[in-house]
Amino acid sequence: MKQKIAFITGINGQDGSYLAEYLVGLGYEVHGTVRRNSTPENQDIRLSEIHLKIHTHYGDLLDQGGLEKLLDQIQPDEIYNLAAQSHVRISFDIPQFTVQTNAIGVLNILEAYRRACPDAKFYQASSSEMFGLSVEEDNFQRETTPMNPVSPYGCSKVFGYNIVRNYRRAYGLHTTNGILFNHESPRRGSNFVTNKVCKTAAQIKLGLQDKLELGNMDSYRDWGHSKDYVRAMHLMLQHDVPGDWVVSTMETHSVREMCKLVFNYLGMDYKNYVTQNPKYLRPEELPYLKGDSTKIRTELGWKPKYTFKEMMEEMTQCWLDSFNKK
Ligand code: NAP
Ligand code: GDD
CATH code, domain with 313:
3.90.25.10
Residue numbers of the domain that contains 213: 190-221+253-289+307-325
Average of per-residue pLDDT across 264-270: 98
Starting from the CA of residue 92, give the closest ligand.
Answer: 2
Q: Which long-range contacts (CB under 8 A, 24 or more apart) does 234-241 make?
A: 234/19, 234/22, 234/23, 234/26, 235/296, 235/300, 235/301, 235/302, 236/123, 236/176, 236/178, 236/296, 236/300, 237/78, 237/80, 237/121, 237/123, 237/174, 237/176, 239/176, 239/299, 239/300
In a domain, 298, yes or no: no
In angstroms, how far is CA 197 from the centroid of its own chain?
A: 18
Residue 44 pLDDT more than 90?
no
Q: Both 157 and 211 in a single domain?
A: no
In a domain, 122, yes or no: yes
Q: Both 45 and 141 in a single domain?
A: yes
Average pLDDT value over all residues in the chain: 97
- For CA atoms 137, 225, 124, 1, the dihedral sign is negative
Q: What is the pLDDT of residue 41?
A: 84
Residue 326 pLDDT more than 80?
no
Q: Both 109 and 166 in a single domain?
A: yes
Residue 1 pLDDT more than 90?
no
Residue 42 pLDDT more than 90?
no
pLDDT single digits (tens) 22-39: 999 999 999 999 999 998
Distance from the CA of 286 to the center of ligand 1, in angstroms? 20
Of the candidates 129, 184, 226, 306, the residue annotated as catalytic is 129
Q: What is the pLDDT of residue 152?
A: 98
Q: Both 170 and 68 in a single domain?
A: yes
Listed residue (75, 55, 161) closest to 121, CA to CA: 75
In a domain, 294, yes or no: no
280 among known catalytic residues: no
Q: Both 106 and 236 in a single domain?
A: yes
pLDDT single digits (tens) 59-106: 999 999 999 999 999 999 999 999 999 999 999 999 999 999 999 999
Q: Both 85 and 38 in a single domain?
A: yes
In a domain, 295, yes or no: no
Q: What is the CATH number of the domain that holds 112?
A: 3.40.50.720
**Percent of the chain surpassing pLDDT 90:** 97
Q: Both 26 and 161 in a single domain?
A: yes
Average of per-residue pLDDT across 250-276: 98
Ligand 2 mutation target, pool 182, 194, 230, most atoms within 8 A of CB: 182
Domain count for the chain: 2
Q: What is the pLDDT of residue 147?
A: 98
pLDDT single digits (tens) 126-172: 999 999 999 999 999 999 999 999 999 999 999 999 999 999 999 99
Local confidence band at 43 (pLDDT 50, 70, 90 cut-offs): confident
Q: Both 233 and 284 in a single domain?
A: no
126 among known catalytic residues: no
Distance from the CA of 265 to the center of ligand 2, in angstroms? 22
Q: How many other CB atoms are found less than 10 A from the CB of residue 124?
A: 26
Using the atom order of ligand 1, give the atom closest to the CA of residue 35. Answer: 47
Q: Both 49 and 102 in a single domain?
A: yes
Average of per-residue pLDDT across 201-225: 98
Q: What is the DSSP letter of 276?
A: E
Question: Does residue 160 have its Cβ closer than 6 Å to ligand 1?
Answer: no
